[in-house]
Amino acid sequence: MTILTGKAEARPRLQPNGAGVLRKIWEHRVDYAYVLPAIAVMLIVIAYPIYYTIELSFFNTPPGLQLRDKIFIGLDNYTAILSSPVFWKVTSNTLIWTLGSTFIAFVLGFASALALHRDFVGRGLLRAVLIIPWVISAVAASYIWKWIYHSDFGIIGAVLVGLGLADRPPNFIDSVSTVLPSLIVVNIWREFPFAMIMMMAGLQTVPDQLLRAAKVDGANAWQRFWHVTFPHLRNVSTVTILLLAVANFNSFIIPWIMTGGGPSNASHIWITHIYELAFGRQRWGVASAYSVLLFLILMSLGYFYVRALSGNERKDGSA
C-alpha cells in the first residue's frame, strides 16, 4: 500500500516548536472535516463500549442489567474466570478452531489462486462459483451443513454407509470427539474464498518480466514459484493470515447455530461462551472480564497486523 502525499495545495513549512502542532492542527481544520463523520461514528460505537466493558468487568451487575445496583468487586471476575475448568476447555477449543481453520483455509485459498492464475476456458465462472460460499450468509451455511451432517438423514452419513465405510451414519456434530473438526470443515468452506481473492490480487502484482526471465534462465515451475512468486507475496500472505486468524478468533455464528457450543462445551469457543455468559446466564461482570481479556489478546494480534502493514509501506519506500 502506498500513501501518496500529494497535497492539493502547497503549504509553508512550519518551524518545529511547541505552538507549531496546535497551529498545524488549526491549519488543517478543513482536512479534519472530511474525516470527522467517520471518527464520530467510531467514537460512539467503539471507544465508548470499550471503556464501558472495562468498567463493567470490575463490578457485579445483577441480572436484568440493572446498572444502578452494580457493586464494585475488584478483580473477582477475573479470578473466577481463571479458576474455572470451562475456561481452559474453551481456550483450547478456540486455539484448535483458530489455528486449524486459518491454516487450512489459507493453504486451500492460496492453492486455488495459483491454479486459477493461468488462463483456461470457464476460468471466470469457476472463480465466481468458488467465491459464493463466502458471500452467502453464515446462518444459511450453518443450516445447510447441519442438514448435510444430520445423524439420521444426512448425506455424508448415507454415502459412507453406501460405500460400506460405516455401519450407520456417524454423529458428526452430536459427539464430543468429532464436533469441532466437523465445524472447522464448515468454517473453511466459508473462508477459503477470502484467502483466494487476496492471493489472486497478490499474484497480479508479481512482475511478468521476472517470471519470464527466470524461465529463460532455466528455472522450473517449482523454482519459479519458490524464488520469484512467493517472496513477492510474503506481505499479502501475512496480512491474509492475520485477517483470517482474527476472523476465526471472532467467529460466532457457525458454532452458535449448529451446536450452541455443545455437546458438553465441546464446541464452545471464546465468543460463544461470552455470549452465553452475558445474554444466557446474565453474568454481565464475568462476560465483560472475558471481553477485556479477549480485547488484550486481539490488541497484541493487532500490533502484528499494523507491523505487517507498515512493512508493506516501508518496502514501497514511502511513509
Within 149-178, the residues that bind other proteins by CB under 8 A are 150, 152-153, 155, 158, 161-162, 169
Shortest distance in whole angstroms from residue 71 CB to other proteins:
17
Contact at 8 Å (CB) between 93 and 251? no
Shortest distance in whole angstroms from residue 250 CB to other proteins:
3
Phi, psi of 10 (to 5 degrees): -75, 140
Nearest to 87 by CA among 311, 286, 317: 286
Q: Give the helix, strand, coil percentages of the chain, each rounded to 5.
A: 70, 0, 30
| Three cell numbers written together for 37 | 463523520
- Is residue 248 involved in binding other proteins (CB under 8 A)? no
- The one among 75, 128, 176, 296 contacting other proteins by CB under 8 A: 128
- Is residue 198 involved in binding other proteins (CB under 8 A)? yes
**207-246 residues near other proteins, rule: CB under 8 A:** 208-209, 212, 215-216, 220-222, 236, 239, 243, 246
**29-88 residues near other proteins, rule: CB under 8 A:** 31-35, 37-39, 41-42, 44-46, 48-50, 52-53, 56, 65, 67
Contact at 8 Å (CB) between 190 and 138? yes
Q: For other proteins, which is the closer residue by CB, 83 or 119?
A: 119
Phi, psi of 8 (to 5 degrees): -70, -20
Shortest distance in whole angstroms from residue 36 CB to other proteins:
8
How many residues sit in the footprint of other proteins (CB under 8 A)?
A: 114
Nearest to 194 by CA among 232, 239, 240: 240
**78-107 residues near other proteins, rule: CB under 8 A:** none
Q: Which residues of 32-59 are buried (b: 16+ CB within 10 A; e: fewer)?
A: eeeeeeeeeeeeeeeeeeeeebeebbbb
**278-297 residues near other proteins, rule: CB under 8 A:** 278-279, 284, 287-288, 291, 294-295
- Is residue 110 involved in binding other proteins (CB under 8 A)? no
Q: For other proteins, which is the closer residue by CB, 267 or 288?
A: 288
Q: For other proteins, which is the closer residue by CB, 50 or 71?
A: 50
- The one among 79, 84, 175, 205 contacting other proteins by CB under 8 A: 205
**β partners of residue 60:** 71
As a whole number of angstroms, the distance between CA 295 and CA 289 comes to: 10
Applying CB under 8 A, the span of 70-78, 81-89, 175-183, 277-285 interacting with other proteins comes to 277-285
**β partners of residue 72:** 59
